Amino acid sequence: MKEKNTIIQSILSEEKRSLIKKVFQTLLIVGIIMCCFYLVDFFDRERMLEGMPAIGTLFKEMIPPNFNEVKKWMEPLLDTLVMSIAGTALALILSFPLGLLAANNTSPNKTIYVVSRTILNLLRSIPELIMGIIFVAAVGFGALPGVLALGLHSAGMMGKFYAESIEHLDPHPVEAAKATGASSLQVIRYAILPQVFSQGADLCIYRWEYNLSTAADNSLVTSSAERSTSASWTAQKLSLGAHTILYTSLPRMTALLWLTLIHNKRSQPYSKS
């Protein structure tokens, strides 16, 4: 009887410590979020109220819209649509193979796993606008640098999701396919792809929607009426892109690598498929 009471008390004590830990973690996260809100003046009531009339004025000027020059909108709208579709397609072509190599249950070895994860982190740590500047300097103005920028950045994001999805799929179909003597491509085709297809389709649609809105912003960088191609302009843009990557993208890259290391420690250790 005493042993039973001791076990019960031990369980209750463990539950109590776990509850205290969760409460502390929750309060810490809430505190960090509230500090961030405070630092960006989110609780500045006077500033918020002063901005309301400006927002109302803006909506009054927007409605009703002016369709007098609607014909001039067609070409930019078509460019935006084409850039988003091509960029999403390029991202899909690159991201799924990278996702397979970056998943610990499908990667051939640990070196390829680490290299693939690093590539994905690098691609998504550089903003599309910065990639756009770099590709404009490389291939000139037009839709092409925008497609390359959207495609590579999206490949980093989509590849990460594919890798996580593949790592959490049901292993039994994969084991059954391997037991029949299926090749690696057949295992991917008949055991892995059917399990990630629905999530992958949702991800593609979401990413295309994101690229559709981002393509309009990217056009500000990749398109120009002057279409300048001078060597000095190219050098200036390359210098701007390099400095921007150094001061803005490297911190993001460091944060992504740090989060990846934390995730890898919390998840299962690498095992060769």
- Encode pLDDT of 184-240 as tens digits: 888 888 888 888 888 888 888 888 888 888 877 776 666 654 444 444 444 444 444
* pLDDT number for residue 152: 92
The model's pLDDT over 243-261, given as tens digits with 9 standing for 90+, comes to: 444 444 455 555 555 555 5
CB atoms under 10 Å from CB of 151, counted, come to 24
Q: Rounded to whole angstroms, how far apart are CA atoms 89 and 82?
A: 11
**Residue found by looking up tokens 């960006």 in the block:** 40
Instruction: With beta carbons less than 8 A apart as the criterion, state whether 138 and 160 touch.
Output: no
**DSSP, res 191:** I
**Angstrom distance (rounded) from CA 94 to CA 165:** 16
Kindly report, residue by residue over 87-140, the tens digit of the pLDDT: 999 999 999 999 999 988 888 888 999 999 999 988 888 888 888 888 888 887
pLDDT 10s digits, 28-82: 999 999 999 989 888 888 888 887 888 888 777 777 777 777 777 777 778 888 8
The verdict on pTM exceeding 0.85 is no
